Amino acid sequence: MAQKFEVTSDIINLNLTELATSTIEEDINTFFADGKATYNGIINTIVANYLKYSDRVNIKLEFSYLDLKDANSYSKRRINVDTQNMIEYANTLKVNDESVALRCGYNVAKLMKLIIESYVRSLYINRQELLFMDKFIAIERADTLSILTIEKALLTLHKVGVFPAKESTFHYFVGIDQKNDSHSIKIMNMLEVSVPKKGIKVTKEIKEKEEQIIKEIYRNGPQFITFPSHDIKVRFTKQGISDYYMRLINRPFLKSKDGDIYTFYCSRKQAFVYFSRFTYNVEILEPSKSRKEFKENFQKALALYENTEAEETSNK
């Protein structure tokens, strides 16, 4: 009788590295803001989704990870039914024409370790894709989708597409509603995705809006498209200019520059997110609303420090 992976018990003793354990805990806190995810549940999702979608995910199994171990790294985990049902697919799984089953010795614990250790060493955005692959597939089903968000908002949207942030951090679903308003939703913040009975008619206005959105995504990424864009003029210090070329996360589209004065095209929201990190190495010149907003926030920060110092002085 040919050997194969078999689940003989729903309790398994996993030998995971400290890196694997800590990364999974971090991913729970990052990707599952509703607080319902569990460590055991995530392990099952990682294994089941990899086996189910191995031809689609961007996670490469590395057999060398089978030999990795840390002290006291064993823990007992329960394998759920979905994972048990998917294990059989591993019997024919290959990596570079080499049998996964043979390298794991038909041992389910080693198979799960191989998948999990490979997962935690993959790019952040690829881990996210694996965890939420069911959402990505659901999005492909139709051009109009009903989406229930983590805030319990139910939206019916014409699909523009799924786009990664420019820095490859999160995936966003971008769509347009019946009123021609744009929406950008992190995939991980979508609780349910379904196809409504009635779709949104794609009008000339929606087509024009879609073209506008795609241009904006090209400039500044998908996460800020729901906020109107403007010219934002700033003056950098010498250190600020140096920091600008190093700080890529949420960096807005550069429209022009003249000496130490740079003009960006982005929303006030993006400007606040990006330039707040520069503190005294950037001055917001225009528009006046943004300049006022930055000034008021720095005044609040100053007051916070002054109040703390005053309390410390009074307690001496």
**Residues 137-183: tens digit of each pLDDT:** 999 999 999 999 999 999 999 999 999 998 888 999 999 999 999 99
Q: What pLDDT is attached to residue 1?
A: 44
Q: How confident is the model at residue 41 (pLDDT cuts 50, 70, 90)?
A: very high
Is the confidence at residue 60, as pLDDT, over 80? yes
Q: What is the mean pLDDT of the chain?
A: 92
The domain locations on the chain are 11-131, 134-219, 229-311
Residue listed under structure tokens 């309390």: 311
User: For the stretch 69-103, what's the b/e string if a residue is b when 16 or more beta carbons lie within 10 angstroms of its beta carbon?
Assistant: eeeeeeeebebbeebbebbeebbebeeeeeebbeb
- Rounded-to-integer distance, Cα 160 and Cα 45, Å: 28
The architecture that CATH gives domain 134-219 is: Roll (2.30)
Average pLDDT over residues 84-110: 93
Q: Please check whether residue 181 is in contact with residue 213, taking contact to mean a CB–CB distance below 8 angstroms.
A: no
Q: What amino acid is encoded at 221 in this protein? A: G
CA-based diameter of the chain, in Å?
Answer: 82
**pTM (predicted TM-score):** 0.86
Average pLDDT over residues 212-238: 94
Residues above pLDDT 90, as percent of the chain: 83
Q: What pLDDT is attached to residue 75?
A: 82
The residues with which 176 forms a beta bridge, in sequence order, are 158, 182
Q: Please check whether residue 61 is in contact with residue 47, taking contact to mean a CB–CB distance below 8 angstroms.
A: no
Q: What pLDDT is attached to residue 48?
A: 96
Q: How confident is the model at residue 33 (pLDDT cuts 50, 70, 90)?
A: confident
Q: Please check whether residue 299 is in contact with residue 280, taking contact to mean a CB–CB distance below 8 angstroms.
A: no
- Provide the token pair at 270: 């993006």
Question: What phi and psi values does residue 172 have, to the nearest 5 degrees?
Answer: -125, 135
- Provide the token pair at 301: 């920060």
Measured CA to CA in angstroms, residue 266 lies from 41, 215, 287 at distances of: 40, 12, 12
Average pLDDT over residues 263-284: 95
